[in-house]
Structure 1
């Protein structure tokens, strides 16, 4: 055996689709995700577990989504991830075609980003530049109230409130009913401090086995610029989705 050669065991990856594609006959969506990985070398061991659950409902003039995720990891016996995110959003499709109003409530807790707790709530508008069954491109913008408890460099506690502008770029493309490319990307700038912004991106490329099972490659990136913390996760595996 070659010494110091990493051996990576990808146990299982089931990721929830970022943007559910409903039809006239489907009104509800369910997805479950579990990720497990072990990286073992002569110098130590790293492991990561990732769970996510998504529930969705859509009718002609309204849709709602409830997303929850939990990431837990250790490296050489030391905690690296203990991250929780829970978000509820509601969308109203009225007035103009391809246009909607949205409301959001979000809770985050992240050991890796040094976020003790973060509460976000706000409203905004969105417009779908492309809005077809196999091609979707949506831009949204709005205002959020952010109440956060962070840990800054040097272990300094930082509790604060701020208003943020929240801009999102969301897309989903399906090529020949086999290849799926989708993502959801946020930048949330404080209205009072140009150096205070959050970035959250999720982008994935998938190969469809059938209507409910995909083989995926996914890249996640998060940054909290106020305390200069970030994380990056590249993962491979399967996605499961169920519409009914």
Structure 2
């Protein structure tokens, strides 16, 4: 997988591109390669966070495919081996600044004790701010959760539930140089009290040119059913290509 990301990085670096969608731009590819390394006398730790996203945008519909892999070790012990793959779409209708959304998401996570998880559903979203350089969006909907998890170190459980999925998402571009992105999810079970999922990400980027950005990311994830959480701080490069 690291070889694939490296090849993609070299391919993207050979192109020049504009900085946003326009009337003739329908496709957008983004590669994020970030990580952190800590070496000390008493041990060492490292974390790799790689993501690849493909976006297709038309006048009335947008389709996105995202894959993300986090891998880390501390003093030789595995801390993260977390993979997520998502396909989602937005369907734009006559309501200004609003759209319907749907998604299918598959996860595995060593750090969150998820052997495998499938989330699928849909809902509606509304953009409070919707400008090229400023974006603030809220959405809500219903997801079906089919999971295989470890509730303890020795107990494995298969279960399913319906969740309400609330999201707050924002994007700011400051002086065509600094990007600020944040996505926050709260997904409560509709049938199980105290069963919830929290996902929160915050990204800060400094654009070098139209296709290359120095990028840092802070993400927090918590699953109440496995009593597990993680906090990840990484930094690296974001490469993007519009065509």
2:180 aligned residue: 181
Deviations 1:16-62 (A, max 9, x none): xxxx9522231101012223433222222212222211101001000
Alignment of 1:1-244 (within 5 A): 21-244=20-243
**Aligned-partner Cα distance in 2 for 1:200–1:239:** 21
Q: Conserved in 1, the CA contact under 8 Å of 2:35 and 2:234?
A: no
Query: Alpha-carbon deviation of 1:108?
Result: 0.3
Per-residue CA deviation, residues 167-192 of structure 1 (Å, 9 max, x unaligned), is 11111111121121111111100001
Give the Cα–Cα distance (whole angstroms) in 2 for the partners of residues 203 and 49 of structure 1. 17
Which ranges in structure 1 are unaligned for 5 or more consecutive residues? 1-13, 15-19
| Alpha-carbon distance, 1:227 to partner | 1.2
Is contact 2:35–2:236 with CA below 8 Å preserved after alignment? no
TM-score, scaled relative to structure 2: 0.88
Do 2:207 and 2:214's aligned partners in 1 also have CA atoms closer than 8 Å?
A: yes
- Report which of the two has the higher share of helix: 2
Helix, strand or coil for the counterpart of 1:241?
A: strand
TM-score (norm. length: structure 1):
0.88
Q: Structure 1, residues 185-224: CA drift from partner, whole Å, max 9, x if none?
A: 1110000123100011111122222222222221111111
Q: After TM superposition, which residue ranges in structure 1, 4 or more long, deviate above 4 angstroms?
A: none
Alpha-carbon separation, structure 1, partners of 2:156 and 2:200: 26
Gaps of 5+ in 2: 1-8, 10-18
Distance 1:204 1:47 in 2: 20
Structure-2 separation of matches of 1:117 and 1:154 = 16
- Tell me which of the two structures has the higher relative contact order, counting C-alpha pairs closer than 8 angstroms and 6 or more residues apart: 2
Aligned CA-pair RMSD:
1.5
Counterpart Cα distance in 2 of 1:148 and 1:21: 37
Cα distance in 2, alignment partners of residues 235 and 229 from structure 1:
20
Instruction: Select between 168-177 and 84-93 the one with higher mean Cα deviation.
Output: 168-177
Show the counterpart of 1:4: none
